[in-house]
Chains A and B, each alone.
Chain A
């Protein structure tokens, strides 16, 4: 044990800053986003080299905890951590103690005992990452909590838009489809508003939540409103939610007829994005999905570098932590 011999007030180390998390777009400022996008850009260039691994996070531990199925998010977080030389572990709810009824709190405490630097969490319930942040000492990155937030998706979408169109300020983005059930939409609306872009939500009335305009966007049921947009962002129709007799729309067929994104509804040069997984032929026509103006594959590549940027940023920047174990001696 180190001994602490302390001295004059002004020579005391500052109190350690509160642990930074990335749970919601509300956790970041415009400057933070600019820094993260710039860092992602740097990583993109580093990935062009023959040896893609960087030593930056050597010795750090990143645990990915996924309570919902995921392809893009879980694989990109894992690869992002590996490209930065961090140790990684992946826990899925099936095949773990979650199957035996363990509470999220107990699972988090168990994993916290390994002293992870970052816990990446996807969970079907709103508020899950907040709980994990309360009971562990790790930085928590939200990889999707229920219908609430998916902030790294928003970040990769911003990255993709800026790379393709050269700007975010003043950009007009139409978000089309099931906004009600979409954490992607909630994070993206906030992120675009933060960066000075204009957002129009388009969808069936029951899938546009009452009061959503207060987040800083317009909302309309008229699909014709896509015409004015620089980017058409298509949300996934969550079939399982549509089929439980909830009558959000009379049928998927009617949804596709009224709000499906087809070549006829787009102008040449309008960019199309989709967070995946797509329901081809439902919310998006296969011709649109495979067209050169679709940025869907770019989004996936952006997912890797922006998630590298998030891990790097949480673990390296910000005020330098002062280890209280250190012997402090004063002349």
Chain B
């Protein structure tokens, strides 16, 4: 389900870092030896065997990140992102795998389109990338795609991300059929008649600024519908980019009742509230919108207690000229691959809101599990998927540093802490700074 450019596996020793993998129960200063892309030894004073040595004293090594929600804009908007630029950005962000969304032009709704992406990944992907296909043809919400054939062609899952599956009847059919494909359905929950025209969260700030509101209930109503259908059909599902307290409550209830639902949350929803929209900066415009402080608190709690198990960037590149418009005319979405860890470390870990180990797990094993991908782990015999982090580095986010083709980051100009120094993905050193 994951595809990348073929390249020789490497022999590396990462020396002297603090190694932290909470799922493996590891938190110690260790050397890691990688033989032919596989973790061969963990210990102190390991023989280097003429391997490439990375001196990592003072750094933290953790399982590399998995981003389950990236827009690679290919095919159709290669000016905004390509498989090559998007995976390079991901490597710089500490990721060893990403999943790309199918709302491209054309939509990834046929084995032929999917095949061309797989080919592009074999040619250009710096790190392993998986592709989701759409649930409905053209994401038009009317007819199911040939999900069996798409799964056989390598689809990592199915989603109409960007738009909801508005018809409950069609949603039910998709859930039923997902039992045949064995691939996860990932749902963008938005009741379109409630969100129509909405530019930002409906609340005090939208009332004052005059924006048409996009109320929380537009999301949570659809979350409740889809969880009810999943319970009825006894099928798993994955909820994309949750933003509202009510959605978290619904998910918590459903999980307690045994529904196999997973969910993700973005760094921007964890770090910002609708107050940030007062600047009218188009890089604060996303769908779902930034919500209130109590929504943000609920998302942080859900991340900590495991109701939400995945952090997803929803990396959504946009051409510069499209974001250089009045807020109301600008498209939804911000980039995130290259800033996710620093944003979360600065705004959640440093202030003591979420433990570092939780953030690391939710950026790595959590999202992998949601889609049935192999979890990055630091143990002997596992493929080397490692991120080297400098937690002391403080720096300013600037346009020039991005490897993404787009610069619509909500963090432009901000000073953050926590820098990715190197990324090893599937046994290859894909990034070093």
Contact = CB atoms under 8 A, between A and B. Distances in A.
A82 interface: no
Interface in B249-286: 280, 282
A123 B327 CA distance: 12
A269 B282 CA distance: 47
Nearest to B285: A127
Contacts of B328: 125-127, 146
A185 B324 CA distance: 28
Interface in A136-193: 145-149, 183, 186
**Considering residues B204, B205, B321, B326, which has the most beta carbons from chain A within 10 angstroms of its beta carbon?**
B326
B210 A126 contact: yes
B206 interface: yes
A210 B213 contact: yes
B202 A210 contact: yes
Contact of B211 (A126, A131, A215): A126
Give the most central of B205, B206, B215, B328: most A CB within 10 Å: B328
Nearest to A190: B208
Interface string B185-221: 0000000000000010011111111111101000000
A126 B327 contact: yes
A104 B209 contact: no
A149 B326 contact: no
Nearest to A209: B207
B325 interface: yes
A214 B204 CA distance: 6
The prevalent SS among residues of A at the interface is mixed
A212 B205 CA distance: 9
A128 interface: yes
A130 interface: yes
Nearest to A23: B280
Contacts of A130: 280, 326-327
Interface in B315-361: 321, 324-329
B210 A146 contact: yes
Interface residues of B, number: 23
Interface string A260-300: 00000000000000000000000000000000000000000
Contact of B326 (A125, A214, A215): A125
Nearest to B202: A210
A45 to B, nearest CB: 36
Contact of B327 (A125, A211, A212): A125
A301 interface: no
Nearest to A179: B207
Given A210-B202, A211-B202, A214-B204, A149 B210 contact: yes
Interface in A295-320: none
A127 B280 contact: yes
Contacts of B210: 126, 146-149, 183, 186
Sort chain A's interface into a size bin.
Answer: 20 to 34
A103 B207 contact: no
Nearest to A123: B326
Contacts of B329: 125
Contacts of A126: 199, 209-211, 280, 326-328
Interface string A190-222: 000000000000000000011110110000000
Nearest to A187: B210
A211 B326 CA distance: 24
A53 interface: no
Contacts of A148: 209-211
Q: Which of the listed residues B202, B207, B211, B321 has the most CB atoms from chain A within 10 Å of its own CB?
A: B207
Interface in A93-123: 103-105, 123
Given A147-B211, A183-B210, A210 B325 contact: no
Contacts of B324: 103, 105, 131
A126 B200 CA distance: 12
A103 B207 CA distance: 27
9 contacts: A103-B325, A105-B325, A125-B328, A126-B211, A145-B326, A147-B212, A210-B202, A211-B205, A211-B208
